[in-house]
Amino acid sequence: MASTVFHTLAVGSINIHVLTTLAVLGTVLLGCAMEGALLLVLFQSAHFVEDRLTVHARGDLRELWAGSGGFHSFNSQLDLSRSGH
């Protein structure tokens, strides 16, 4: 995680990983290392859950497209006329 943060900072963009790392460093500097550790655990847990849900959603989307015949089948059911009739 630290190498990702340093790379992100070197590129010049700030994301949630950078902000979380800065928050943890702040808690350590304030003498609240346990809160910083808890923040890291919560962040990593949320990241894990997000990855798992994303994998499942992609699988469900693939099944949906496979069952519907793909984009061409869906596209042929749309009425794209400009008249509105």
Assigned domain for 85 exists: no
Global pTM value: 0.55
Assigned domain for 82 exists: no
Average pLDDT, stretch 64-81?
A: 60
Assigned domain for 48 exists: yes
Assigned domain for 26 exists: yes
Residues with Cβ within 8 Å of residue 2, at least 6 apart in sequence:
21
9-61 confidence digits (pLDDT tens): 778 888 888 889 899 999 999 999 999 999 999 999 999 999 888 888 887 77
Assigned domain for 83 exists: no
Average pLDDT, stretch 58-81?
A: 64
Residues with Cβ within 8 Å of residue 81, at least 6 apart in sequence:
none
Alpha helices in 1-85 (DSSP H): 2-11, 16-29, 33-68, 71-76
Domain extent at residue 27: 2-76
- Domain tally for the chain? 1
Assigned domain for 40 exists: yes
Assigned domain for 8 exists: yes
The pLDDT value given to residue 24: 94
